[in-house]
Structure 1
Amino acid sequence: MAERRGGVVPGSDALKSALRWLSEQRTADPAASRLKLIDEAALRFDLAPNDVEFLAMNWKE
């Protein structure tokens, strides 16, 4: 269903959890650096390198 709306559905549970966490962090601190948050999410959720690359290329507010 997300594909029909033009969204992207992440594959791993870790990536889904990271996306949720990133959203919460962005709400709590809108001025936080996007790349710094992605780096922290990578460590916190033990993301694979391709998941980190996905976030860096596709995660928008």
Structure 2
Amino acid sequence: MMSIQPEGEDLRKATKWISTERMSNQEAKLSDLIQQASIKFDLPPTDTEFLMRFFSNKDTK
């Protein structure tokens, strides 16, 4: 049975998961983590692109 989640909930979970993974494993490549999150949280391509931009901008600040 699928659970119904508010729109954007998977993206929030993916963002939190990537942040946690980066803290625990600083050697991990961002692109690999984003790809894993995309699969794990079944994100559409637009959300995957958002994650790339979000974390890339975060790293440059």
Higher helix share: 2
Instruction: Find the partner of 1:27 among 4, 23, 30.
Output: 23
| Cα root mean square deviation, aligned | 1.3
TM-score (norm 2): 0.77
Distance in 2 separating the partners of 1:30 and 1:41: 16
Point out where structure 2 has 5 or more consecutive residues left out of the alignment.
1-6
Point out where structure 1 has 5 or more consecutive residues left out of the alignment.
1-10
The percentage of counterpart residues that share the same residue type is: 35
Distance in 2 separating the partners of 1:52 and 1:41: 8
1:37 matches 2:37: no
Q: Once the two structures are superposed, what CA deviation does each residue of 1:2-57 show, in whole Å capped at 9, x if it has no partner?
A: xxxxxxxxx60000000110011001101100000000000000001100000111
Equivalent residue number for residue 12 of structure 2:
16
Distance in 1 separating the partners of 2:12 and 2:37: 11
Distance in 1 separating the partners of 2:42 and 2:34: 11
Aligned pairs, number = 51
